[in-house]
Amino acid sequence: MKEPREFWNKLAPRYAKSPIRDEKNYRKKLEVTQAYFKPDWSVLEFGCGTGSTAILHAPHVQHYLATDISDKMLDIARHKTDGAGIKNISYRQGTLDSLALQPASFDAILGLNILHLLQDLDAAISRTHELLKPDGIFVSSTALIGEISVLWRMLIPGMQLLGFAPHVNRFSRQELVSSLTGAGFSIDREWAPAKGSVFIVARKRA
Ligand SMILES: C[S@@+](CC[C@H](N)C(=O)[O-])C[C@H]1O[C@@H](n2cnc3c(N)ncnc32)[C@H](O)[C@@H]1O
């Protein structure tokens, strides 16, 4: 299987052109998230892709740090951000592990369509917890590979061998919730936009 950076770099131009699959639920996730935001907030998004969500969220907060493992995704994101005239997004390449970030420095952290792609879910959740201020929120939206149809699950290894699919983590909704609560989060909001996916707002217990 390809290294994640290489896989996502190759996919970036196509990913940038792909339409949002479920516009109605995407809008709802934006609204729910923005209802938490405050104008003086500092927000981190990891796995930001081509920056589409960052561009929509950034005007609602003071500063938005958008990060991704793929430099090609970030090139597209920077270009779109300049085009949109948004000035308060900084982009940095790296992962939650590799980036030097200040503990307890963010009011909100977003991980959208990324948790199922990580090698170590628990490590990512505990790093997120460390980076949030007390009472800060972690907004995640993820595919639950453990809950999609058996047929799709059977196809994944073949697609990975052919280089058409990245590494995926097969946790269930319950496992994700347990990981969050075990790391010191309480669940503020939990919603299943569709079978095999979940949207969660978790709060760092003060
Ligand atoms: C499915 S895309 C989601 C992009 C965006 N969050 C969205 O919802 O459209 C996954 C993104 O995560 C990035 N990625 C994959 N593994 C990563 C990691 N370990 N750390 C940071 N970013 C990663 C990829 O480069 C890609 O941009």
Domain that holds residue 137: 4-204
Number of independent structural domains in the chain: 1
> Which residues lie below 8 Å from residue 178, measured CB to CB, with a gap of 6+?
none
Which run of H or E residues covers position 187?
strand 185-191
- pLDDT for residue 46: 98
pLDDT 10s per residue in the chain (206 long)? 568 999 999 999 999 999 998 999 999 999 999 999 999 999 999 999 999 999 999 999 999 999 999 999 999 999 999 999 999 999 999 999 999 999 999 999 999 999 999 999 999 999 999 999 999 999 999 999 888 877 787 888 888 888 887 888 889 999 999 999 999 999 999 999 998 999 999 999 98
**pLDDT, position 167:** 83
* Cα of 105 from ligand 1 centre, angstroms: 22
Residue with tokens 């981190």: 44
Rounded distance between C-alpha atoms, residue 78 and residue 151, angstroms: 38
Using alpha carbons, select from 115, 171, 169, 118 the residue that is nearest to residue 138: 115
Residue-level pLDDT at 1: 57
**Residue identifier of the C-alpha nearest atom 12 of ligand 1:** 47
| Ligand 1 atom closest to 96 (CA) | 20
pLDDT at site 159: 84
Torsion of CA 16, 112, 164, 3, to 10 degrees: 100
Measured distance CA(161)–CA(113) in Å, rounded: 22
What Rg do the C-alpha atoms of the chain give, in angstroms?
A: 16
Record the tokens describing residue 105, joined without a space: 């420095």
Check which CATH number belongs to the domain holding 20 and give it. 3.40.50.150
Q: Which ligand 1 atom minimizes the distance to the CA of 73? A: 27
Structure-derived torsion over alpha carbons of residues 110, 111, 112, 114, reported in degrees to the nearest 10: 170
> Crossing angle of helices 4-17/71-84, nearest 10°?
30
